[in-house]
Homo-oligomer: A and B are copies of this chain.
Amino acid sequence: MSEAFIDELRNALGNGAVLSGSDIDARYHHDLAGNPAPKPRAVVRPKTTEDVSALLRLCHRESVPVTTQGGMTGLVRGAMPNADEIVLSMERMNNVEEVDASAGVAIAQAGTPLQKLQERVEQDGLMFPLDLGARGSCTIGGNISTNAGGNRVIRYGMTRDLILGLEVVTADGTVLKGLRKYIKNNTGIDLKHLFIGSEGILGVVTRAALRVFPAPAERQVALCAMPSFGQVMALLKLARKSLGGDLTAFEAMWNAYYRHTVERVRGVAGPLPTHHPFYVLLEASGSDAERIRDGLEKMLETAMSDNVIFDATLSTSIASVAAIWRIRDSSVELGRSFPFAARMGFDVSVAIDRMEEYADTLDARVKAIDPQAFTIVMGHVGDGNLHPSVYHEHTPDKHDEFEKLVYDLTGEFGGSISAEHGIGISRRPYLKMSRTEQEIETMRTLKRALDPKNILNPGRIFTV
Which chain A residues have a beta carbon within 8 Å of chain B's beta carbons?
Answer: 102-103, 146-147, 149, 153, 155, 157-158, 160-161, 170, 174-178, 180-191, 193-194, 196-199, 201-202, 214, 240-242, 244-246, 286-288, 291, 295, 349-353, 380, 383-385, 414-423, 427, 431, 434-436, 438-443, 445-446, 448-450, 461-462
Contact = CB atoms under 8 A, between A and B. Distances in A.
A197 B190 contact: yes
The 6 closest A-B pairs by CB, nearest first: A245-B245, A193-B193, A449-B449, A184-B419, A182-B349, A185-B416
Given A244-B246, A288-B241, A182 B214 contact: no
Given A214-B240, A241-B287, A461 B352 contact: no
Given A244-B245, A288-B241, A446-B189, A184 B153 contact: yes
Nearest to A416: B185
Given A193-B193, A244-B246, A439-B178, A384 B446 contact: no
A461 B240 CA distance: 41
B185 A434 contact: yes
5 contacts: A102-B352, A149-B184, A184-B349, A214-B240, A291-B291
Contacts of A191: 439, 442-443
A201 B188 CA distance: 10
B146 A186 contact: yes
A132 B420 CA distance: 33
A351 to B, nearest CB: 6
Contact of A188 (B183, B184, B443): B443
A315 to B, nearest CB: 19
Contacts of A418: 185-187
Contact of A287 (B240, B436, B445): B240
A443 B420 CA distance: 28
Contacts of A175: 438
B170 A161 contact: no
A186 B177 contact: no
A417 B187 contact: yes
Contact of A187 (B182, B383, B435): B435
Contact of A241 (B187, B214, B431): B214
A449 B153 CA distance: 34
A440 B352 contact: no
Contacts of A181: 351, 414
Given A180-B416, A445-B449, 19 more contacts: A102-B353, A178-B436, A182-B415, A182-B416, A183-B383, A184-B416, A185-B419, A185-B434, A186-B419, A188-B198, A188-B199, A188-B461, A189-B201, A191-B442, A193-B194, A242-B288, A244-B246, A244-B287, A445-B450
A214 B435 CA distance: 30
Nearest to A434: B187
A161 to B, nearest CB: 7
Nearest to A422: B186
B449 A182 contact: no
A295 to B, nearest CB: 8
A220 to B, nearest CB: 14
Contacts of A431: 187-188
Contacts of A441: 174
A299 B146 CA distance: 40
A421 B288 contact: no
B155 A245 contact: yes
A286 B427 CA distance: 41
A370 to B, nearest CB: 28
Contacts of A202: 189
